[in-house]
Structure 1
Amino acid sequence: MQTRIPTPWLWTVGAALAACAGAVQAQRAGDNAVTAAEDAFGATLGNESIGLYSAKQVRGFSPVDAGNVRMDGIYFDRQGTVPPALVEGSTIRVGPSALNYPFPAPTGIVDYRLKKAGDERVLSVLAALNAYGAPALELDARLPLAEGRFGIAANLAISREEYYDGADARYVRAGLVPRWRPSENVEILPFWSISRGRDEEVAPTILTAGPYRPPKIERRRHFGQSWSDNEYDSRNFGVLAKARIGADWAFAGGVVRSINDQPQGFAELFADTTREGLTRERVVADPRQRYASTSGELRLSRSFREGPRLHVLHAAVRGRGVDNEYGGSAPAIDYGWRPLGEPQPQPRPDAFEFGERTHDHVEQWTAGLAYEGRWREVGEWNLGIQRSRYRKRIVQPGLAPALSRDDPWLPSASVSLQLSPRLAVYAGHTRGLEESGIAPDDAANRNQALPAIRTRQSDAGLRWKLGEDMKLVAGAFDVRKPYFATDENNVFAPLAEVRHRGVELSLSGKPADNWNLVAGAVLMRPRVSGEAVRLGRVGDRPIGQTEQMLRTDVEYRPPWLPGWSFDASMSRYGERVASRDGRNRVPAYALVDLGARYRFRLGDAPASLRLLVANVGDTFTWNIYGNNSFGLTDGRRYVAQLTVDFDG
């Protein structure tokens, strides 16, 4: 039976803790993604996100699926979620912001920042009513235990979340980060986090019988089975360390264990959906699925100066070992035809006939050398070479073990030239070896592990400082990878090559007093090529990719309303292809969010009240999961969040 957290209790606890507040500088109450963003390419701060890109989508690809994830600049192989309970935020490193990484990667890099205790004792309390009235409570502590030497950052968050399809779920998330600084030049950061989800009713996957979209249906009405709930436990733990040795040497390293354990899982497929809205519900149950990785990096750097020039040499070793258990799905239960969007409850089966699961093991080691040069008022450059050794062993029920291997050389090079104090140009090229995830729910080989792929990326552009408080970044990019899609037998596999070429723009800063602006655009030409296109097996546009993304976030602080600020987020997404042959398309759509923030004091404690109306126009569109495969998206929703910082 689902436990619901009473909303008044959350607000009562939050208000009671806030009433005890003492004097302290702002911590979480000062979170504001618009004012903190470096550019428009994507960032998170606390519970707020901003920008064109995210951890799941950069230039049309997923950095997380590709394995391009860092924690405080150190490589790790993410398997589970990285909750806000563990990190204060993340930044998408792409274009010029990736130039200072000694080993860049195609598809960009997601760099998380661990929460860290400073020299001030702070306890932050966040109480919220999130989308569709879902309550949440979060406690965030930064506790210095030995000034300048040792402290602990800790976070506990509980929530009940409501979704656009009428489903809901309960979550507990927690994180702990001790910070030990045995000397001025050494920092050691052990960390641990858990995210636990329960009673998460499955979102529907709607498959049409031909190249057309499903008929529009009512949102916030769950029409799957109430017992087809997903559960997951996601954990990350490890230790990071950084040290400066003398004036010229530096060390950075870490080891991370990342686990995604799914004790119970289902897929709700609404297949053969007609234009008139008739559909056939099929429920697929999964046994326990487990994805676990141990990964890490050791990097040693040596720097030396030569007049106005700085030279840095890096030597690094990265490794990961991954053990996965997945598959074994029970035969689909077919509940027959009915109107799409209309619930038809069925009793839960007494048992499911699960099959044997697939086991795979990945071992990958990568060694690299890199050189960075920086010439004051002239520019900087970066050259690198990596050699990777990749081995993957897959044991599938009824088949002989299969071994996949690759040993590529992975070069990279970039340069930035300072044409004037305000204008710089940059260019770069890099190659990578990336994972490609697992086959989606609507494929015949659902949950099957996909092979590693070789990728490459080239980009170039400029950075221009406009006045004292505005910055423009404009660049062009070309990313090439194998193209995965379902074939005529609905098997998800690499069928061709996909190339994403385009330009991206970012304009950020303060255009005037009391204003902040973060605006960006991606104008892209994604195209598929190869024999499969020539034979007409697939179209020349990749499924789900738009050719246009525009987003503007603006905040205004009226001088006659002290403490208040008002913000708006406006975004537009172009037309997307929704079928393998390119005939089925989802039209362009736009979203507008409006918000306000009030900063004040409760007693001596800094506090902020955040109000937000998301998707003001209640725009309806479709997520695209694959070939003629669709999911619902969010409608209009309201958020209210109270944050208070007080002396712990």
Structure 2
Amino acid sequence: MRARTTAPVRRAGAACVIGILALANAPAHGQAPRAEDDRAAEHARDAFGIRIGAEQIGLYNESQVRGFSLQDAGNYRFNDSYFVRSAGVVDSVVSSVVTRVGYNALEADFAAPSGIVTFRLRSPFEAPRLHTEVALRDYGGQFLDIRLAQTSVDSRLAGLVGGQMLRARTSSGLAPNYYRFGSVVEWRPANGIKTIGFASLNIFDLEGTYGVSLRGNALPPPMRHPQRYVPGWSDHDGADLNLGLLTSAAVGGGVELSGSLVHSRLNLKEADFTQFIVDGSGVGRAVTISNRPRVNQSWSASAGASWRAAPNQRLYAELRGRQTRNRFAPAVSVEVGSVDLAYPLPPVAEPDLTPAPSTLDSIDQLSAGVGYEGTFGRLRLKGGVQKSRHRRHIDAPERPTQAATQIPWLYDASIAFAAGRRLTLFASATRGLEESGAAPETAANRYELLPPAIATQQELGFRGGLTEGLALIGSLFSIRKPAPGFDANNHFGLSGELRHRGAELSLVGALAPRLRIVSGAVLLDATRSGEPVKTGAWSREAVGVARFQSMAGLTYSVPGLEGLSLDGQLNHATSRRVRSSGDLRTPPLTTTDIGLRHAFRLGAFDAAVRARLLNLFDADGWIASRSEQLDRPSRRAFRLSLTLSH
């Protein structure tokens, strides 16, 4: 395992502490607190998922939206621009990550069946000149965040640079390190013209990952906390890189042009994964899968135009292209031997990863689409049609070249009707080509990309304003796409059909002048059909999907103590099927988080102290995943941060 670079983190943290102590002795100016509240709950438009920094609220996130993974589907946007994501994006350049489904997805041109994840880039024009956060993270982890922003004298050019260092700790006793850097430059040469360039780099040094699969018909006891479940030499190291350029221009006559170019690249130097196969007593065997270096990278570009032919009508068109290249070599499996989850992993020799021939998995895609949006009194109509050409080419050692091409027609259509001053009814239908993700580490074809799949979605819903500041959103939806799963040879692929039908509700807004709520619930029927279900190889019910989920978050501003607010969040999910065979399920899981935030002036700075206690009652157990793995919930943890902005 590589030596850990901790000295720079300690020096930077010490410098920040000294600076904070100096500021504490500076004279206060007495102004009202102006620090922006960066809690996700304060920025949520619905209960379907938003993340700001380390804080997440809502029913969904990138890995779970209506029972599907948008990380697999690949439906990503930078602001409103299409891009293909191969690597993670750092928070130094991103102000929020928003999951868009239902009513709030109607705004998107060329909507996607499973929903959209939007990364909102920070605007250096709106950012504070200096932003610093020093934090204590889960289980004693340490976090430092610094951002600087500057605007030119003529207010046409602005830039932002930032860096983060996280010495994390996990509930399984691991100590990953992250070093993150980012920059955003924004140029506004004239009214209606804007160009944004950004760079995002995340260097990560983890200690490997692990998973648990089950044999037998009983769940094992909960895992010990904290306890190391990977070999001493295990690693998961590499770097995420994203570079992008976005531009838009209003050129007159109701015409707007836009374009984007984004490069996303993951360099994975080491990736060790330990697989536990245990019975109901937690006893069994383990295998560590040690991967050779691999590279996933993509280029994506778009060029769009829209014409507002009349104040209430708009025509739009877009051309999208992508090039994805994933290169990887065979992994080496190391038999650990007998294990018991009640005890640490026994010592095992590190394998010698000699060079090996690699496989190149290539995807080239080109899509062209046109659309129309019109408002006629209370009625709004929107629809688009696309033609896409998707070609995949696999060059593997000692195997014939594989190639497949799909050229489907895709569409999206929606209608919204303002039935009253505060009530809007809507309906939508979408047909899209979505990625299917990759085979999990436990599959015989681990990391192999699955073919893209045609997905369809139909939705019927409403948005109602209960008061001026309180909105209720509800919908019924149905999504269909090919179903992923294991065959008799442990090969993970697509077979049969997966259908998710559900009903969801979101209530967001002010219950009272000082009390804000973000709450939601979803009832989901996730079923599979096709030959594997007919033969009994697969269960009809999908694996790893909760039938019911709910959450509620409250924020209360304390009267008489300006700047102080209290908050709490409750999350609940019902049981999940563990695997395709048998009827074993994980138990329901309910977690509670509480916190407070105090905004105040500290010298020349707007300051805020934030404290949170996550999983207050230390709920533990197992969570079943779609890949038939068992995961553990994060145990009780405390976070404390001080933020300074100027």
User: TM-score if structure 2 supplies the norm length?
Assistant: 0.95
Residue 363 of structure 1: aligned partner: 364
Determine if contact 1:211/1:628 at 8 Å carries over to the other structure: no
Which amino acid in the other structure matches residue 603 of structure 2? G
Alignment of 1:364-513 (within 5 A): 364-376=365-377, 378-513=378-513
1:10 to 7, 10, 13: 13
1:58 and 1:627 map into 2 onto residues whose CA distance is 16
Q: Displacement, 1:352?
A: 2.5
Match of 2:276 among 266, 270, 274: 270
TM superposition shift of 1:470: 0.4
Task: Quote the Cα distance in structure 1 between the aligned partners of 2:251 and 2:553.
Answer: 42
Which residue number in structure 2 is paired with residue 173 of structure 1?
Answer: 180
Secondary structure of the residue aligned to 1:64 is helix
Shift of 1:298: 0.7
How many residues are paired up? 639
Question: Which letter does structure 2 place at the counterpart of 1:302?
Answer: W
Query: What are the ranges of 5 or more consecutive residues in structure 1 without an aligned counterpart?
Result: none
Give the fraction of aligned pairs with identical amino acids, expressed as a percent.
Answer: 30
* 1:480 to partner: Cα distance: 0.5
Deviations, residues 143-188 of structure 1 (Å, cap 9, x unaligned): 1123420010221001111112111111111110111111111100
State the shift of 1:390 in Å: 0.5
Conserved? CA contact 1:55–1:62, under 8 Å: yes
- Is it true that 1:303 corresponds to 2:301 in the alignment? no
Retained in 2: the 8 A contact 1:453–1:482? yes
Distance 1:325-1:373 versus aligned 2 partners, 3 A rule: same
Give a deviation string over 1:343-398, Cα, whole Å, max 9, x none: 2453643622564322111000000000011234x031111100000000011222
User: In the alignment, does 2:345 pair up with 1:340?
Assistant: no
Taking structure 1 as reference, are residues 146 and 373 closer, same or farther at Cα in structure 2, changes over 3 Å only?
same
Amino acid across the alignment from 2:624: I
Matches within 5 A, 1:619-634: 619-626=619-626, 628-634=628-634
Tell me the residue number matched to 1:288: 293
Could you tell me which amino acid in structure 1 is paired with residue 221 of structure 2? P
What displacement does 1:64 show? 2.5
Instruction: Return the alpha-carbon distance in structure 2 between the equivalents of residues 611 and 353 of structure 1.
Output: 48
- For residues 37 and 464 of structure 1, the distance between their equivalents in structure 2, rounded to whole angstroms, comes to 16
Q: For residues 627 and 89 of structure 1, what CA distance do their matches in structure 2 show?
A: 28
Is the contact made by 1:18 and 1:125 (CA closer than 8 Å) also made in structure 2?
A: no
C-alpha distance in 2, partners of 1:227/1:34?
Answer: 40
| Structure 1 CA distance for aligned equivalents of residues 175 and 546 of structure 2 | 30
The aligned residue for residue 185 of structure 1 is 192
Residue 235 of structure 1, aligned match among 236, 241, 247: 241
Distance 1:139 1:517, change over 3 A: same
1:86 counterpart residue number: 93
- What one-letter code is carried by the residue in structure 1 that aligns with 2:305? L
**Taking structure 1 as the reference length, what is the TM-score of the superposition?**
0.95
Please name the residue that 2:319 is paired with. Answer: 317
CA deviation profile, 1:440-494 (whole Å, cap 9, x unmatched): 0111111111111110111110010111110000101101111111122211111
Match of 2:58 among 33, 51, 61: 51
> 1:2, CA displacement in angstroms?
2.5
> Which SS does the other structure have where 1:533 is aligned?
helix
**How far does residue 56 in structure 1 lie from its aligned partner after superposition?**
1.6
Are the equivalent residues in 2 in contact too, given 1:90–1:111 (CA < 8 A)? yes
**Counterparts of 2:58 and 2:149 in 1: how far apart (Å)?**
28
1:613 counterpart residue number = 613
From the superposition, tell whether residues 176 and 27 of structure 1 become closer, same or farther in structure 2 (CA, over 3 Å): farther
| Aligned equivalent of 1:589 | 589
**Corresponding position: 1:205 with 2:205:** no
For the Cα contact (< 8 Å) 1:251–1:299, is it kept in 2?
yes
Structure 2 letter corresponding to 1:289: R
Pairwise CA distance, 1:7: 6.6
* Paired AA for residue 290 in structure 2: A
Residue 284 of structure 1: how far off its partner (Å): 1.2
Take 1:211 and 1:483, find their aligned partners in 2: how far apart are those partners? 24
The AA in structure 1 aligned to 2:71 is: V
Farther off after superposition, 206-215 or 67-76 = 206-215
Paired amino acid for 2:472:
L
The separation in 2 between residues aligned to 1:28 and 1:91, in whole angstroms, is 22
For residue 17 of structure 1, report the CA deviation from its aligned partner.
5.2
* CA-to-aligned-CA distance 1:544-591 (integer Å, 9 cap, x gap): 111111000100111032221100000100110011125121111101
Offset, 1:138: 0.3
Distance 1:517 1:15, change over 3 A: farther
Read off the aligned partner of 1:318 and give its amino acid letter.
Answer: R
Moved more, 117-126 or 155-164: 117-126
Equivalents in 2 of 1:46, 1:181: separation in Å? 27
Q: Secondary structure at 1:363's aligned position in 2? A: strand
Letter in 1 for 2:297: A
SS in 2 for 1:292: strand
Q: Distance in 1 between matches of 2:220 and 2:18?
A: 46
Q: Which residue number in structure 2 is paired with residue 328 of structure 1? A: 330
CA gap 1:421/1:358 in 2 versus in 1, 3 angstroms: same
How far apart in 1 are the matches of 2:475 and 2:348? 56
